[in-house]
Structures are given as C-alpha cells and as structure tokens.
C-alpha cells in the first residue's frame, strides 16, 4: 500500500520509513510525489496540527496520508515550547540554535523534566480520519550530547543517554514517534 508522509522533514520521513517499510508499505514523502504546498499549522494542539496537514494533502491526492505534529514540552516552562517547538526562538534558528535557546531558558532550573509528544493523523483510502498519540518522558540535559537524531534529540535524556546518542532502532523503541507509529501500524494491520 502506498502511504504519503505529509512532511518536508527528511529526518521524519526516514523514521516513518524505518517503521512502515518492513510492514510492506511503500512510503513516499511530499518531495517524492512532487507536492509543494505551504500548510498553515494553526491548531492549538499537536493532534489538530497533524490533522490539518493530513487533510490538506489528502484533499490534493486522495491517497492514504500520514501526518504528524510533535514537539517537546518542558514542565518548568509550563509546557513550552510545545506546539511551537519547530519555531521556538524565532523562524531563523536551526536545531542547534533552538537547543541553545532552550538551555538559556532553563539556566539555573533544577526541575528539567519534560516529554516529547507525537500526534499522528492518518487518513485512510476511504477518507476516514484516525489519530494516534505517543509520549516519551525524560529530562532536559545541560548540554547537547550525541551526533544522531535531529531537533531537540541532543538535549533530551532517557536514562543516561540523549536521543542523539541512540541508534535509530534504539530511538524507535523508546520515542514518542515510535510509540505513536506502533499504534498506527497496529490499527492499519487490523484493517487488512
């Protein structure tokens, strides 16, 4: 079955491919299908933003679509950056810049607990909408560690390691996206 991942983020596409390809799915990015569209994520939750993206792409192609919205929620910052994780600190910042911004905001803070949240929206071939959520609890480190991953992965600690210090398989087993994807995959498998 063909599934389109509604993102231009190559790292997210690779994570979805790692999880869905072994199940027999052909996974395509927006780039693979030459889809160029700016989608305004104006929802107030991860789930709303994921469904906005999925619906926009589904309306264009009428094929199964998966979209996710995810981010990091830090307890000491009242859940920020939250749905603004990708734009935290301003549009011009890269991943490293956003990590530095987060470290700056947490300077002197001892309670560094937080979580990654991933909401996946799936619109099937019939146009029916489904949502799945995964959460991974952890702690925000004091410095970036590791070379793997992307986004806030170098700061997010699960046990003694950051997500950026884990292999792809290790991260998939623990991560918010891995958890949400397993729920999605279980649902899709039930429908066959």
Bind-site residues: 7-12, 40, 69-70, 150-153, 171, 176-177
How far is it, in rounded angstroms, from Cα 65 to Cα 70? 16
In the annotated binding site for substrate, the residues are 7-12, 70, 150-153, 171, 176-177
Helix and strand element counts for the chain (H, E): 5, 7
What is the number of other CB atoms lying within 10 angstroms of the CB of residue 126? 7
How far is it, in rounded angstroms, from Cα 26 to Cα 65? 12
Given 2, 69, 75, 95, the catalytic residue? 69
- Positive or negative, the CA dihedral 13, 135, 111, 79 is positive
Q: Is 94 a catalytic residue?
A: no
Concatenated DSSP letters for 7-37?
Answer: ---HHHHHHHHHHHGGGT-EEEETTTTT---
Q: How is residue 4 written in tokens?
A: 């389109």
In the annotated binding site for Mg(2+), the residues are 40, 69
By annotation, the residues acting in catalysis are 69
């Amino acid at each position: 079955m063909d599934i389109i991942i509604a993102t231009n983020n190559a790292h997210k596409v690779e994570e979805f491919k790692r999880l869905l390809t072994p199940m027999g799915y052909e996974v395509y990015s927006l780039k693979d299908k030459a889809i160029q569209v700016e989608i305004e994520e104006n929802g107030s939750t991860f789930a709303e933003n994921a469904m906005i993206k999925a619906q926009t792409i589904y309306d264009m192609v009428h094929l199964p679509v998966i979209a996710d919205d995810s981010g990091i929620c830090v307890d000491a910052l009242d859940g920020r950056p939250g749905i603004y994780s990708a734009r935290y600190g301003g549009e011009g910042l890269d991943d490293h810049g956003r990590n530095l911004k987060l470290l700056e905001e947490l300077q002197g803070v001892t309670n560094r607990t937080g979580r990654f949240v991933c909401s996946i929206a799936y619109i099937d071939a019939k146009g029916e909408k489904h949502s799945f959520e995964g959460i991974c609890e952890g702690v925000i480190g004091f410095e970036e560690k590791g070379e793997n991953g992307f986004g806030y992965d170098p700061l997010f600690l699960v046990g003694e390691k950051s997500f950026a210090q884990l292999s792809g398989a290790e991260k998939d087993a623990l991560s918010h996206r891995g958890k949400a994807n397993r729920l999605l995959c279980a649902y899709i498998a039930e429908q066959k």
